[in-house]
A = this chain, B = another copy of it.
Amino acid sequence: MRMTSIRQSWLNIPADSHFSLRNIPFGIISTASDPRRRPAVAIGDYALDLFEFSNSGGFRQSGFTNTAVFENSTLNAFAALGRAAHRMVRTYIQDIFAASGPYPDLLERNHPLRERALLPLASVQNHLPLEIGDYTDFFVGRNHAYNCGVIFRGPENALNPNYYHVPVGYHGRASSVVISGTPIKRPVGQILPDPTAVPKIPVLAPTQRLDYEVEFAAFIATGNNMGERINVNEAEEHIFGYVLMNDWSARDVQAWEYVPLGPFTAKNFGTSISAWVVLSDALEPFRTKPLARPAEAGDVLPYLQEGNEESVYDIKLQVVYQTAGGDKAVVSKGSTKYLLFSFAQMIAHHTVTGANLRPGDLIASGTISGEDSGSLGSLLEKSQAGKVHIAIGQSTRTFLQDGDTITITAAADDGSGAGLVGFGELNGTVLAPDY
């Protein structure tokens, strides 16, 4: 699988494009002239409108017959067809765009269809790629879990006793998962102004500790029946693809509300995801090992033991912080590989008691931090819970201020010259509270 022959495209794809010929991520678009939501793939600086392409007979030579899925306003039906279908369509689209490919008449030389179906990315509006039935957020970025534990409980008790055994996760809010570019209003919530005071009397106020969390997330393709478990070694077959996630979090609200049932209003006001779903197949060349387990942690239980040691992906993450005043800095450079458990393990655990997953369910890793201070995935860690001021050009920050914009990008490159496999840009701007 690692031996990729380098194919070129007849389309001019910039070398630094996240959407190389070996990516072909799927999304949902609309345009000013056609507001219908419809499936598309991104390639170079363009989106190929799959509704238009399919209706114009684009798939007639593909062997793929379920083209009705491209008439939908979400990718759920396409995802539910399973990985063999995704592979067939992705490979075919690669053939369509390949230089000296097998189907030059279908698009390359078909200028009227190129005009209709190959749309500049700058002209398309993205929408949520799938309808999300349930959204689950895990907490398997061990470095983040450890850093937060040190801040709140000290290094001795940083990780809870269950941490190395249980891929810890919780159910999040599906309704407020939004697409990149959606502004996030600073939430107003219950906050305890002085945690040391007795009695503890909260106030209602705009959060003073608004944070981002850099996460990686998988969309489910095919689910399971309630009462059935998904085997860890079959779990990847249930994944459609991946997106970047920013799990906006109000740390002061979270601290007051989260005992004993976990975060609720501190996180359910908005969660942003990137627009283009990168298929599992496109990430195959970038497999690597997850975080090592300390010897004293022992093995995971058998239902979490994977055959493939290279169970995570090394996709480089970058976070750019731009202040309302226009100052700008790269505040983090990390990788999606810093996970203690893989997505296959998360899925096996998610279904261990019999919970049913459905096509379109979204499963996120939890915040991903690397090993050093330059690769942290949240301001909570970077500012040491507000104690350290972070330089953003001429400005400093501890937590997010109104008007600030966070932009997360991620791309994988194995140096093969075959181009990047990237996720584009996930951004969101903080709006002033409505209070």
Stretch of A63-71, A112-120, A308-316, A348-356 lying at the B interface? A348-356
Contact yes or no, B260 A262, CB < 8 A: yes
Known: A204-B302, A269-B226. A250 touches B353 (CB 8 A): yes
Contact yes or no, A169 B250, CB < 8 A: no
Write out the residue numbers on chain B whose beta carbons fall within 8 Å of the beta carbon of A265. Answer: 349-350, 352-353, 355
Say if the beta carbon of A415 comes within 8 Å of chain B.
Answer: no
Measured between alpha carbons, how far is A265 from B260 in the docked complex, in Å? Answer: 16
Measured between alpha carbons, how far is A268 from B135 in the docked complex, in Å? Answer: 13
Q: Which of chain A's residues 390-435 have a Cβ closer than 8 Å to chain B?
A: 431, 434
Measured between alpha carbons, how far is A261 from B169 in the docked complex, in Å? Answer: 7
Contact yes or no, B302 A175, CB < 8 A: no
Q: Which of chain A's residues 192-231 have a Cβ closer than 8 Å to chain B?
A: 192, 199-204, 207, 223, 226-229
Say if the beta carbon of A32 comes within 8 Å of chain B.
Answer: no
**Interface size for chain A: under 10, 10 to 19, 20 to 34, or 35 or more residues?**
35 or more
Measured between alpha carbons, how far is A407 from B257 in the docked complex, in Å? Answer: 33
Say if the beta carbon of A237 comes within 8 Å of chain B.
Answer: no
Say if the beta carbon of A325 comes within 8 Å of chain B.
Answer: no
Write out the residue numbers on chain B whose beta carbons fall within 8 Å of the beta carbon of A175. Answer: 133-134, 223, 226, 355-358, 361
Measured between alpha carbons, how far is A139 from B259 in the docked complex, in Å? Answer: 12
Say if the beta carbon of A44 comes within 8 Å of chain B.
Answer: no
Say if the beta carbon of A176 comes within 8 Å of chain B.
Answer: yes
Contact yes or no, A174 B134, CB < 8 A: yes
User: B200, B263, B270, B352: which contacts A188 (Cβ < 8 A)?
Assistant: B352
Write out the residue numbers on chain B whose beta carbons fall within 8 Å of the beta carbon of A259. Answer: 160, 162
Contact yes or no, B352 A189, CB < 8 A: yes
Closest residue of B by beta carbon distance from A299: B201
Write out the residue numbers on chain B whose beta carbons fall within 8 Å of the beta carbon of A269. Answer: 226-227, 353-355
Write out the residue numbers on chain B whose beta carbons fall within 8 Å of the beta carbon of A192. Answer: 162
Say if the beta carbon of A303 comes within 8 Å of chain B.
Answer: yes
Q: Which of chain A's residues 130-179 have a Cβ closer than 8 Å to chain B?
A: 133-134, 139, 160-162, 165-166, 168-176, 178
Say if the beta carbon of A287 comes within 8 Å of chain B.
Answer: no
Some 7 contacts from A to B, beta carbons below 8 A apart, are A162-B202, A162-B257, A168-B260, A171-B268, A176-B356, A203-B301, A268-B350
Q: Residues of A with Cβ closer than 8 Å to B?
A: 133-134, 139, 160-162, 165-166, 168-176, 178, 185, 187-190, 192, 199-204, 207, 223, 226-229, 250, 253, 256-266, 268-270, 296, 298, 301-303, 349-350, 352-358, 361, 431, 434
Q: Besides A175-B223, A188-B353, A199-B298, 9 other CB < 8 A contacts?
A: A162-B257, A168-B260, A175-B356, A188-B352, A199-B296, A204-B302, A227-B431, A227-B434, A265-B355
